[in-house]
Amino acid sequence: MNNMKRLVLISFCFLTAACAPPRPAGEVPENKNLPSEQNKAMSGAENKVMSVEQRKAKTATVSSWEIRGSMAAKNKNKGWSAAMNWKQSGPGAYQIRLMGPLGAGTVLINKKGNTITFQDGPKRITSHNPDQLLAEQTGIRLPVNNLYYWVRGLPAPGPVQSEQRDEYNHLVQLRQSGYTINFTKYTSVRGVDLPSLIRLEGNGVMVKVAIQNWTV
């Protein structure tokens, strides 16, 4: 169950980011468009031509959702995977359920107010500092404030090292805060194109999120 615990804490970062205060916006470098042959991954998207700012504004309208899919994470020593169900209710509340492989069990994580809890069977842990909890329990540090934006295909507030977009201005690669995030697939959900496959890598950790279904 230790492996499941570590996976839970990594997943936990994606969720707690929704309630972290954004940092002041920094200057974003000029966009780089990808060749059209790399746009095949966007076949599930609506692919309307928009400016970068229009694309960002449309995506930012999504603040509540339910995601069903799977997550895998690894560092140089170990790797973990689990099925995932994530319900986000506005910027301040969420519930996530992780179902581990081979009968490893189910973990439930909730955020209400300033308190985050996760429950693994009879074991219940609460925290007000997700960054510290993650580092102490796993030795892995992730940019908690950024992940709420990245999961929707948005750059987080703050400096951006580089970004690449396709001809429709979907974000397909982002370098920010020492991480490289690749958005290899998008899907259209009620007129908004949202990521369905995300790979994050940097600082010795790799996280892959495969989203089978978005409900917004």
- pLDDT, one tens digit per residue, over 101-112 is 644 678 777 878
Q: Among 112, 140, 105, 122, which residue's Cα sits nearest to residue 13?
A: 140
21: three-class secondary structure by DSSP: coil
Predicted local distance difference test score (pLDDT) of residue 26: 34
Report, at the CATH architecture level, how domain 2-215 is classified.
Clam (2.50)
93 CB-contact burial (10 Å; exposed 0-12 / middle 13-18 / buried 19+): middle
- By percentage, how much of the chain surpasses pLDDT 90? 41
The structure tokens listed for 195 are: 């990521």
Q: CB count, 10 Å around CB of 13?
A: 25
Distance of CA 42 to the CA centre of its chain: 18
**Sign of the Cα pseudo-torsion (169, 171, 177, 180, in order):** negative
Q: How far apart are CA 166 and CA 172, in angstroms?
A: 7
179-194 pLDDT per residue, tens:
999 999 999 999 999 9
Is 4 in contact with 79 (CB distance < 8 Å)? no
194-203 — which CB contacts under 8 Å span 24+ positions?
194/59, 194/62, 194/152, 194/153, 195/151, 195/152, 195/153, 196/44, 196/69, 197/41, 198/150, 198/151, 200/150, 202/177, 202/178, 203/141, 203/142, 203/178, 203/179
CA angle 91, 105, 135 (to 5 degrees): 55
Q: Which residues pair with 189 in a beta bridge?
A: 192
Tens digits of pLDDT across the chain (216 residues):
555 555 555 555 554 444 444 443 333 333 444 444 344 456 678 888 999 999 999 999 999 999 999 988 888 877 778 899 989 887 777 888 888 764 467 877 787 878 777 777 787 888 887 666 555 555 556 776 678 889 999 999 999 999 999 999 999 999 999 999 999 999 999 999 999 999 999 988 899 999 999 999
The structure tokens listed for 81 are: 């995977």
